[in-house]
Amino acid sequence: MKTKKSALGRGLSAILESPDTDITSRDISGNYVAGAIATISLDKIEANPFQPRNNFEQEALEELAASIKTQGIIQPVTVRKLGYDKYQLISGERRFRASKLAGLDAIPTFIRVANDQQMLEMALIENIHRENLNALDVGISYQRLIDECKITIEELSERVGKNRTTVSNFIRLLKLPPAVQIALRDNRISMGHARAIINIDNEAVQLQILKEIFDNQLSVRQVEKRAKEINGTSKMPVKQKTTLPEKYKRAKGELSVQLETPVEIRRNNKGKGSIVIPFKSENEFEKIISILGK
């Protein structure tokens, strides 16, 4: 009869399953105690409702599952105890899902005690430190830590080991239009592109720049230059257009018909203005003079 392979990695298995280092002690009821490292059945572990990461690439999960089949799980997942023989995942969602794909029945776990806020904070912070997490997911995680864990940006920067400016830059990404956020999430643009776009105040222009990035393969430096040009233009004073009173509009139409040329009447808010009568040739000029002289 073939012996079933342990879910633990070879090196970790030798340490954790040694009688000298085993801390998977059970209480008098036979349940694992909090603080223990234990191999727990997958069907006794429920997913983390606070999981901040929604997108798990199937190909990456399958690669991890193949690795688990060969090497076992190198790093145990972390769970919290819910009650009698029931546990909830705190962190390690990818390992949990990949273990199911690999056909494992049980996985090694760290057992912790955590209330909902602590659990959310641990899950978010653990997720933030993943190298393959996209910038938008990091921004969402930062914002959730601020909103749901009631901490300031300063406290957040200390907990994640990043300076305040870096944290703020990630959070600002959430102010981008949905189309830009999706492009960032799907790695069609970089965080550098997104940071340049966010400096433009007009959403329609932001979306136009996004299209230009796709159509012309613009670099981050090129987008930054475009943003500066647009911002420089938008800061120029815009003259307020004066609405021409109705009697001037009627006069403009009558003159245009009479002179057989489009007449332009300009008038400012103080009542001053001008009448512009264009002509295309010497003959047309003479004709206009002739009509006006009548």
Task: For residues 52 and 112, give the distance between their C-alpha atoms in angstroms, rounded to a whole number.
Answer: 19
Task: Establish how many alpha carbons lie within 13 A of residue 136's alpha carbon, considering only the half-sphere containing its beta carbon.
Answer: 22
Is residue 13's pLDDT more than 80? no
Q: What residue spans define the domains of the chain?
A: 10-115, 190-234, 246-292
> Is 155 noted as a catalytic residue in this protein?
no
- The confidence band for 240, taking pLDDT boundaries of 50, 70 and 90, is low
The residue annotated as part of the active site, out of 46, 59, 62, 93, is 93
pLDDT tens digit string along 251-277?
777 777 777 777 888 888 777 888 888
pLDDT tens digit string along 74-118?
678 888 888 777 888 887 888 899 999 999 999 988 887 656 666
Is residue 186's pLDDT more than 80? yes
Greater confidence (18 vs 140) lies with: 140
Q: Which of 92-96, 143-147, 236-240 has the lowest mean pLDDT?
A: 236-240
Q: Mean pLDDT across the chain, nearest whole number?
A: 77
Mean pLDDT of the region 26-30: 44
Task: For residues 83 and 268, give the distance between their C-alpha atoms in angstroms, rounded to a whole number.
Answer: 79
- The confidence band for 5, taking pLDDT boundaries of 50, 70 and 90, is very low
Topology of the domain comprising 10-115: 3.90.1530
Residue 117: what pLDDT? 67
pTM of whole model > 0.85? no
Residue 80: what pLDDT? 81
Residue 27: what pLDDT? 44
Supply the Cα-derived Rg of the chain in whole angstroms.
Answer: 34
